[in-house]
Structure 1
């Protein structure tokens, strides 16, 4: 099964970075390839997340389960097509009052072998681009906070942005 690990140190507080990653319903606003995301209750401690993603004229919708351990870990798993297996873990570590180390680990395999060959070539670039887009979003939210606006915290218990 392919494995990818990405690391990035960012100049933003850990809780802010965590909240942007945890706010899955807003992914279509800033993450390339995300067309729609909705939450559908819980399976035990895991939030059910239905995602429509795509690119190059192809789209797919699948179910994943997300678990949250604020402010340090978010885990996303799926065995729904197109995946045979998807395991993504975001781990955040404070590096100071306004620095965070972001680590994204992904293990994945597609159900269709032919599609998997293509996906194996595209997915690392998609994750790198997604991480960069996420950091730009964190930067925008940080500027909004500094300017006096309140940024809603992701309410993962209900699967929506808190007030």
Structure 2
């Protein structure tokens, strides 16, 4: 199963980054390929199921994931539970303060498509997709904090 890990120091607080990643229903406003997202079931204040709709090159899919938030540890865990093109999909965000105004962002993802063809194609495009996704979250943080990255 393909895995990817990424770590960056960003000039934003861990609280802000946690807030952005936790606010999943806003994803269609700034994440490429996310065409819709809604919370379909709340298990608790920090655990919910979310249906994500994604579209790319004429393909449209939807799947449901269990999202677990830990505001104290500044972590967000996501596990696909039903539907969509994935056999498995898990990702984790962790935000660690490094100063009053910046944090270390760690992101890991593991996925496997149901289709072997999609697995082969995704492997080649994966780095581009991850870069665009990371850039979208950084742009969102910059907009919400009104900071400029230097």
Query: Same fold by TM (over 0.5)?
Result: yes
- TM-score of the aligned structures, taking structure 1 as reference length: 0.83
Once structures 1 and 2 are overlaid, which stretch shifts more, 89-98 or 43-52?
Answer: 43-52
Partner of 1:76: 78
Runs of 5+ consecutive residues of structure 1 not aligned to the other structure: 145-163
2: distance between equivalents of 1:75 and 1:13? Answer: 19
Matching of residue 63 in structure 1 with residue 64 in structure 2: yes
TM-fit CA distance, 1:79? 4.2
TM-fit CA distance, 1:54? 1.8
TM-fit CA distance, 1:27? 0.4
TM-fit CA distance, 1:9? 0.7
- TM-score of the aligned structures, taking structure 2 as reference length: 0.89
1: distance between equivalents of 2:132 and 2:71? Answer: 24
The answer (yes or no) to whether the contact 2:66–2:81 under 8 Å persists in 1 is: no
The answer (yes or no) to whether the contact 1:6–1:128 under 8 Å persists in 2 is: no
Runs of 5+ consecutive residues of structure 2 not aligned to the other structure: none
Partner of 1:33: 33
The answer (yes or no) to whether the contact 1:87–1:106 under 8 Å persists in 2 is: yes
Partner of 2:49: 48
Partner of 2:112: 109
RMSD across aligned positions (CA) = 1.6
